[in-house]
Amino acid sequence: MTLVDYDTEQYRDYARGRALSAEQLRVWVDAFVAVLPGRRPLTGLDVGSGTGRFTPALAEALGPVTGVEPSARMREVAATQGHRPGVRYLAGAAENLPVPDASADYALLFLSWHHVGDKARAVRELSRVVRPGGRLLLRANFRDHHPRPWWLGYFPHGYEVDASLFQPLHEVIAMFTAAGWRVASFDMVTEPSPGTREDMLERLRLRTFSFFARLSPDEQDEGLRRIEQAVAAEPGAPSPPFAEPLLTFERSPR
């Protein structure tokens, strides 16, 4: 079952609902750089590149990047950024990567792995396109290592519903190690605060987080109402940062 159809939902609001500040983007790019080899350029794949939140920054920091994205609407939004040196966007998916064998030094999947329907096929494709010795950066959540953003618990069963969208960590590790990858690192990256809790509420109202698809309209409204009350009780309070997992694999050098 498709978790979210980005061609009909979310594409309009995703860039706004999930916008990153310059500081947040810098923290993520630094985290990627820290788990990648030091030579430049590196040829990258941004798999499930969406509206291109990361693709141009990856190209600037590391070298040419291909964003691969199944949703035509999300690719259209990414294209509104105009020409960015070293960036191209192609139609495709993790299960069907439109690039040659061993052509990438790394692949980033930023919150796209849980959308991948045929994970076994995606593992085969990633193993095909990433060079021996290359890296796979999986910014994913895991059922048993799930971040706890301050707002999630306000939704009825929010934490359980959100965690259920993701595989347990050991399952993901088993899938990739069976295909010849090894775990290079498992880090928690603390993304800087997006602003006040009120700012975060404004973003949540756009409902661009996957777990909304698993809540009833009443549960969504109930959660937003509770957050409104919490925000009103402490106007101007900052939205606390929270730590998010980044799992890095290395493809066995042949």
Ligand X SMILES: C[S@@+](CC[C@H](N)C(=O)[O-])C[C@H]1O[C@@H](n2cnc3c(N)ncnc32)[C@H](O)[C@@H]1O
Applying CB under 6 A, the residues found at the interface with ligand X are 6, 18, 47-50, 53, 69-71, 74, 93-95, 110-112, 115-117
Q: How far is the CB of 196 from ligand X (least distance, A)?
A: 22
Those residues whose C-beta lies under 8 Å from the C-beta of residue 36, and which sit 6 or more positions away, are: 42, 62, 105, 106, 135, 137
Q: How far is the CB of 151 from ligand X (least distance, A)?
A: 17
Alpha-carbon distance of 254 to 63, in angstroms, equals: 24
- Tokens matching residue 182: 């090894």
Nearest CB to ligand X, comparing residues 18 and 214: 18
Nearest CB to ligand X, comparing residues 10 and 220: 10
Alpha-carbon distance of 161 to 251, in angstroms, equals: 32
Q: How far is the CB of 16 from ligand X (least distance, A)?
A: 12
Nearest CB to ligand X, comparing residues 47 and 169: 47
Nearest CB to ligand X, comparing residues 54 and 154: 54
Alpha-carbon distance of 58 to 82, in angstroms, equals: 16
Q: How far is the CB of 38 from ligand X (least distance, A)?
A: 24
Burial of 22 (0-12, 13-18, 19+ CB in 10 A): exposed
HSE-up (13 A, CA, CB side) for residue 217: 0
